[in-house]
Amino acid sequence: MTAASELRPVIVGAGPAGVRAAQTLVAHGLRPVVIDEAPRAGGQIYRRPPAGLAQRTAKTLYGFESKRADALHAAFDGLRGRIEHHPDSLVWNAQDGQLDVMHGPTQATRQVPYSHLVVATGATDRVLPVPGWTLPGVYTLGGAQVALKFQGCAIGRRVVFMGTGPLLYLVAYQYAKTGVDVAAVLDTARLADQIAATPAMLTQPAVFAKGVYYVGWLRAHGVALHSGVRPLRVLGDDAQSRVTGVAWQDGNAERTLACDAIGFGYALRSETQLADLLGCRFDYAPMHRAHLPVRDAAGRASVPGVYLAGDGAGIMGADAAEWAGERAALALLADNGVAIDTARAAQLERRLDRLTGFRRGLERAFPVPQDWAAHAPDDLVVCRCENVTAGTLRQTVAVNGANEMNRLKALSRVGMGRCQGRMCGVAAAEILAHATQQPLQQVGRLRGQAPIKPIPIRLVPAEGSGT
């Protein structure tokens, strides 16, 4: 046990989980270090525009979530002077009780020691590619949302959104509200899936009502909504090398629609690379269709002194992230002999537990297409960094006997590029599982490696860092 005066807790991520963790630690007399890649706290869901950009109201930026966004931003801003905040900073490695951190604007790197670590690294898009997805004008749903929230710009004038998940309808709604021509929403989930999931989703009636509102608003404003579809390809102009439309299968018919931009994705996936470098134990989580770091109900990881919170440990949404961030901080305090409100800790765990049923309902309503790999053509680029196709992956299985993700990576180079498997890892695993006729959990996961994200070959040591 570390004396409270000797604690140096570090929080990675300043989204809902990281902010509430920092607030809790400060309330108990600690001065945590908060490291975040963004210039301003808020995370993806409550992302704030650059300080110099013409300001838009919270209502415009966050809609129904404006009050929660304002509260979270105010909570973090109120910690100024009581925390050590490192904005625009990437944690790219972790070892021996220290984090390697690069400041983006200056490319200066320093080592940040910690006694305890709260990992709140958030999530990114789950990508299942479609032919033509590498054309300019194709974005992930999260990327399309960042453009709108952060820079106040749209990805195109006439946009199609496709894939599945609640984010699909939210981003379409946000774009349509700003006056962008949303040509269509193409959902791979069937209406029958959503009807079947309704009882589970009604356990969170306010959240369910917002989803129903988005769908209803889009319909009322003339946006075409298609369910149970299968995206076939992005259409492009070879002369101008840009998106001109999209083709999809609707029942037995092939349909096309003109557009100049596409946003797509299949819900979200957790960012787990840092937890991997820290040595956390992972296990397969069927509900998330992914291998995730193991944690207890309070957020404790398998590695002593490491706590996991928010979507980086399992996609549960912004409310759950706030609760999990606070609960992880309370666990950190209790583990070091600091008196905490045990009733509050138990209340947070109950809230998180109640959300599990709703989360299962979302998976039922918006399932990841189980047959995607079977329909992926051999010439489909899966890993755009290394230009690895689905056919190359299948050949690697057939010729070299690859039956596990890291073996597939070593033999094909899938996941060796700049994204470190963030964009291609999910799709590669689906293809490997299909090609080897194994359950997805059996093919494993790409192991995290430093640097977690791309860094310059030559880094500048930060002044006084000793690195």
For position 62, what pLDDT does the model report? Answer: 82
Cis peptide bond upstream of 304, omega within 30: no
| pTM value surpassing 0.85 | yes
**The predicted structure's pLDDT at residue 71:** 95
Q: Check residue 3 and give its pLDDT.
A: 56
User: What pLDDT score does 453 carry?
Assistant: 92
Q: State whether residue 350 is helix, strand or coil.
A: helix
The pLDDT value recorded for residue 280 is 98
Reduced to 3 states, what is the DSSP secondary structure of residue 187?
A: strand
Residue 62: partners with Cβ closer than 8 Å, 6 or more residues away? 46, 68, 69
CA atoms within 13 A on the CB side of 73: 17
Q: Where are the domains of the chain?
A: 4-124+269-338, 127-266, 372-443
Distance of alpha carbon 123 from alpha carbon 272, whole angstroms: 9
pLDDT for the residue numbered 277: 97
pLDDT confidence bin for 74, thresholds 50/70/90: very high
**Which pLDDT does position 296 carry in this prediction?**
97
User: Is the pLDDT assigned to residue 359 strictly greater than 90?
Assistant: yes
pLDDT at 425 over 70: yes
- Residue 43: the pLDDT is 92
Confidence of residue 441 (pLDDT cuts 50, 70, 90): very high
CA-CA distance, 443 to 133, in Å (whole number)?
A: 25
State yes or no: pLDDT of 22 exceeds 80.
Answer: yes
pLDDT reported for residue 2: 57
Residue 1 CB contacts under 8 Å (≥ 6 apart), including other chains: 335, 336, 337
pLDDT tens sequence across 248-297: 999 999 999 999 999 999 999 999 999 999 999 999 999 999 999 999 99
Query: What is the DSSP annotation of 376-412?
Result: --TT-EEETTTTEEHHHHHHHHHHH---SHHHHHHHH
User: Is a pLDDT exceeding 70 seen at residue 409?
Assistant: yes
State in words which class domain 4-124+269-338 has. Answer: alpha beta
Least confident range from 203-207, 446-450, 453-457: namely 453-457
How high is the pLDDT of residue 458?
A: 80
Could you count the other beta carbons within 10 Å of the beta carbon of residue 157? 11
Taking 80 as the threshold, does the pLDDT of residue 228 lie above it?
yes
Higher pLDDT, 300 or 53: 300
* pLDDT at residue 342 in the model: 98
d(CA 187, CA 39): 34
pLDDT tens column, 193-225: 999 999 999 999 999 999 999 999 999 999 999
What whole-number distance in Å separates Cα of residue 19 and Cα of residue 322? 8
Q: What are phi and psi of 257, to 5 degrees?
A: -150, 135
pLDDT of 239 reads 67
**pLDDT value at position 56?**
73
In CATH, the number for domain 372-443 is 1.10.10.1100
Q: Which of 329, 285, 325 is nearest to 43 (CA)?
A: 325
**CATH of the structural domain 127-266, one choice from 3.40.190.10, 3.40.1440.10, 3.50.50.60, 3.40.140.10:** 3.50.50.60
pLDDT at 1: 54
* Residue 198: CA count within 13 A, CB half-sphere: 7
- Stretch 171-188: mean pLDDT: 96
Helix, strand, coil distribution of the chain in percent, nearest 5: 40, 25, 40
Taking the chain, what is the end-to-end CA distance rounded to the nearest angstrom?
Answer: 29
Buried b (16+ CB within 10 A) or exposed e, 417-455: bebbbbbbbbbbbbbbbbbbeeebbebbbbebebbbbeb
**CA–CA distances in Å: residue 132 to residues 200, 307, 382, 422, 440:** 36, 40, 11, 19, 26
pLDDT for 61 = 78
What separation in angstroms does the CA of 271 have from each of 121, 132, 298, 308?
6, 26, 19, 11
CA dist 144 and 158 (Å) reads 13
Region 128-152: mean pLDDT is 94
What local confidence, expressed as pLDDT, does residue 65 receive? 87
**pLDDT score, position 159:** 98
pLDDT > 80? residue 317: yes
Q: What is the mean pLDDT of the chain?
A: 94
Average pLDDT over residues 166-189: 96
Q: Lowest mean pLDDT: which of 6-10, 328-332, 364-368?
A: 6-10
Quickly list DSSP for 159-181.
EEEEEESHHHHHHHHHHHHTT-E
- The average pLDDT across 372-398 equals 97
Residue 259: what pLDDT? 97
Distances in Å between the alpha carbon of 337 and those of 5, 7, 304, 334? 11, 11, 15, 5
CA proximity to 251, closest of 231, 233, 228, 232: 228
Say yes or no to pLDDT of 152 above 80. Answer: yes
What is the arithmetic mean of pLDDT over 121-147? 96
Alpha-carbon dihedral angle through residues 12, 17, 18, 21, given to the nearest 10 degrees? -120
Beta bridge pairs of residue 67: none
Please, which pLDDT band fits residue 5 given cuts at 50, 70 and 90? low
| 200, containing H or E segment | helix 191-201
Which of residues 465 and 125 earns the better pLDDT score? 125
CATH topology agreement for domains 4-124+269-338 and 127-266: yes
Distance CA(382)–CA(431), nearest Å, equals 10
